[in-house]
Structure 1
Amino acid sequence: MEFETFKEFFSLENIQNLLSQYRSFGPLPGVLLPMLEAFLPVLPLFVFIMANAAAFGLWGGFVYSWLGTCGGALIVFFLVRKYGQKRLFLFISRHKRIKKLLDWIERHGFGPLFLILCFPFTPSSAINVVAGLSKIKTSQFVLAVLCGKLVMVFMVSYIGYDVRALFQQPVRTAITGVIIVILWFVGKQLEKRLTQGLSKKVKSK
């Protein structure tokens, strides 16, 4: 399939038509499409989320997209973590740039991962693989995915639900920025509690 044909097939209109055709399956198509993007990063996650918002409404589309994209990211992470010692993954982890990214993720943990995952055009699929290969705590990665994807999916769902509102109602747009700050603070507090809890468990053994 040529690139132009690929772009045409995965247009917003075509995905909306696809969701309409399989509406009898309920939310399943709306969850599966964003989930597939974690395994096939060439798929347009942005389009899937916008189509879900248009097809299922702002909140329905948001929930289905969030469940799908988080589920896909966590499945990839756990698969890589389990089979990370296989030859393919060992080869990947020895790459110079991958090593730098591994060190960066291990040093910084939740904070930068959360910010990266807040934005829809970052290479989140690559982040899932590298995080699985790294020594980052599972709790930190899960928390970053759930919070970061929450922000990203909501912003894209909002755009997909009503593009004009972004310009006609700037106050509502500003709320998105406030949500990012709040989730950042809450995420850091949860991370501290998780770290403290793990430290206590280690000391008690």
Structure 2
Amino acid sequence: MKDNMIDVLQTYSEAAYLLSLLANLAISVLGVVPSAFLTAANLAVFGFWPGFWISFAGEALGAVVSFILYRKGFRRLRETTWLSHPNVKPLLHASGKEAFWLVFSLRLLPLMPSGVVTFVAAIGRTSLPVFAAASSLGKLPALWMEAYAVHQLLRATWQGKLILAALSAAIFLFVWRKIRRNKAE
């Protein structure tokens, strides 16, 4: 997917920034597609800092557009059963400073699905300005970590990538066995 995006951005170089922003908007609105491939493409095409900033602008704009669309389309879902889960309620009912710090903190977590945070904040009490500020500020360090990791991976030799793949597989197997063992007990 990254290579296809690189091809598109290079083929339409005059509109590459706009295409990247539009791709980020689509990813944000869908809410379930990871954006790491687009960050990798932006870094490969534009370089580290320009690629980082275009990724940041796209993700920040995408989060705001998604928030507005989710708020208009899904606000009535606030009372559904799955939103009464204890882990969801704080963000759903937060407003003002509390909402700011919750959204900001959740954006700092690299494995927290961005779409879920946006969706719950949008159907909850969080205002658009609070969400936009908290989301954007929280995305800065998280996206920098993602961009740095992707940049280093793009620069790695095939041996480094092989070692990383082996370590990732070993960690996955360890966690998977641990989960299976806990379920069996």
What is the TM-score of this pair, normalised by structure 2?
A: 0.70
- Correspondent of 1:153 among 133, 139, 143: 143
What SS is found at the alignment partner of 1:43?
Answer: coil
| Structure 1 residue 165 displacement after superposition | 7.6
Measure the CA separation in 1 of the matches of 2:36 and 2:110: 7
Q: Moved runs in structure 1, 4+ residues, more than 6 A?
A: none
CA distance 1:134–1:142, shift in 2 (3 Å):
same
Deviations 1:52-80 (A, max 9, x none): 11110111111111111111111121233
Structure 1 position 71 matched with structure 2 position 61: yes
Separation in structure 1 between the aligned mates of residue 127 and residue 88 of structure 2, nearest angstrom: 13
Distance 1:39 1:138 in 2: 16
SS in 1 for 2:153: coil
Q: Which moved more, 1:71-80 or 1:54-63?
A: 71-80
TM-score (norm 1): 0.64
Which residue, out of 8, 12, 21, partners 2:11? 21
Could you tell me whether the CA contact under 8 Å between 1:50 and 1:159 is conserved in 2? no
Q: CA RMSD in A?
A: 2.4
Q: Which residues of 2 match residues 86-165 of structure 1 at below 5 A?
A: 89-90=75-76, 92-100=77-85, 103-105=89-91, 106-107=93-94, 108-163=98-153
* Contact kept in structure 2, 1:38 and 1:76, CA below 8 Å: yes
Sequence identity (%)? 25
Q: Could you tell me how far 1:128 is from its partner in structure 2? A: 1.2
Contact 2:29 2:65 in 1 (8 A): no
In structure 1, list runs of 5 or more residues that go unmatched.
1-9, 167-205
The farther-off stretch of 51-60 and 120-129 is: 120-129
Counterpart of 1:44 (choices 6, 9, 34) is 34
State the alpha-carbon separation in 2 of the partners of residues 38 and 89 from structure 1: 18
Can you give the 5+ residue segments of structure 2 that lack an aligned partner in the other structure? 157-185
Aligned length: 151
Distance, in Å, in 2 between the alignment partners of 1:159 and 1:51 is: 13
